[in-house]
Structure 1
Amino acid sequence: MAFGSFGSGSKSTPMAEINVIPLVDIMLVLLVIFIITAPLLTDAVKIDLPKASSTPNESKADNVQFAINSAGQLYWNGEPIDHDQMLQRFANAAQQEPTPELHLRVDRDARYEVLADVMSEASKAGLAKVGFITDPSGKVLAGPVVPTGGER
């Protein structure tokens, strides 16, 4: 916007007109840019991507019911075993694919040392998934525990 002239005249009134020529120039330049770039944005490269299924391959791991009674006797799925058999069975179970879960049922009167030894040997063998099966009724385990299925 012009506010006056460079003349030496005494009448210095501002100009009341808007100069739109620079605005039109900018708009034309933007129009040309958009006309050129618009077709470039709609073209896409066709790529044949492989199809993959999203369903996970689940294989249910078995579990081993391991019990310790108050006398320190060890049971593998209801079968009485000794310490050496336990070590061998832990090693065999750790080599299975997938690695089975070890479910421990321990009598409340059992010695902690026996439980700690069993958990330590299971960890050394490679059995990482260990769970404790509890009986809310408070019954004492007197003998072998026969697995019943889906309890945890």
Structure 2
Amino acid sequence: MAFSADSQDDEIISEINMTPLVDVMLVLLIIFMITMPVLTQSVLVELPQARAEPTTIQPDSIAISVLRDGTVQWNSEAVTAAQLQQKLIQVAELPQQLPLQLMADKAVEYRHVLNVMALAQQLGITQLGFVTEPIH
């Protein structure tokens, strides 16, 4: 007889089913992966000032200055946007790129600094540093 009173099929299963837990974790992972880029791009943040070691300009580096009015200087020599692009192309073509030290006036509009950074990135320059003054 297939059905008997002494059947061992009525035992309690004491192990946890992991499939729903894994499904929930994967859904949460996907949600965080989608929402994090949106949050980082849309949040307005007032950046704090930090104490840092004074940055020294290396003798074999190139100093690019962005002045308050948006003009750009290459090693203390004023350059136009076209001249800046030509000079950055020359740096990008070097077998070992010279490091660029970007110095921007604290009152300059951010778009002027961003234009220099974007141009350097488009041309494949990988060594770009910011020069700041320490807080006293």
| Smaller-chain TM-score bracket | 0.5 to 0.7
Q: Give the TM-score, by structure 2 length.
A: 0.54
Within-5 A mapping of 1:50-89: 62-89=60-87
Measured against aligned partners, the alpha-carbon deviations of 1:99-151 in whole angstroms (never above 9, x if no partner) come to 1111000000001001111000001111111100012269xxxxxxxxxxxxx
The answer to whether the 8 Å contact 1:61/1:100 transfers is no
Secondary structure of residue in 2 paired with 1:114 = helix
Measure, in 1, the Cα distance between the counterparts of 2:60 and 2:125.
Answer: 12
Within-5 A mapping of 1:3-152: 62-136=60-134
Aligned residue pairs, count: 79
* Gaps in structure 2 of 5+ consecutive residues: 1-57
Secondary structure of residue in 1 paired with 2:101 = strand
Measure, in 1, the Cα distance between the counterparts of 2:123 and 2:130.
Answer: 18
CA RMSD in angstroms, aligned pairs only = 2.1
Which stretches of structure 1, 4 residues or longer, exceed 2 Å deviation after superposition? none
Q: Cα 1:116–1:122, aligned 2, differ >3 Å: closer, same or farther? A: same
Q: Cα 1:61–1:67, aligned 2, differ >3 Å: closer, same or farther? A: closer
Q: Give the TM-score, by structure 1 length.
A: 0.49
The answer to whether the 8 Å contact 1:61/1:98 transfers is no
Measure, in 2, the Cα distance between the counterparts of 1:129 and 1:89.
Answer: 15
* Gaps in structure 1 of 5+ consecutive residues: 1-59, 139-152
Secondary structure of residue in 1 paired with 2:106 = coil
Secondary structure of residue in 2 paired with 1:89 = helix
Higher relative contact order (CA 8 A, sep 6+): 2
Structure whose CA Rg is larger? 1
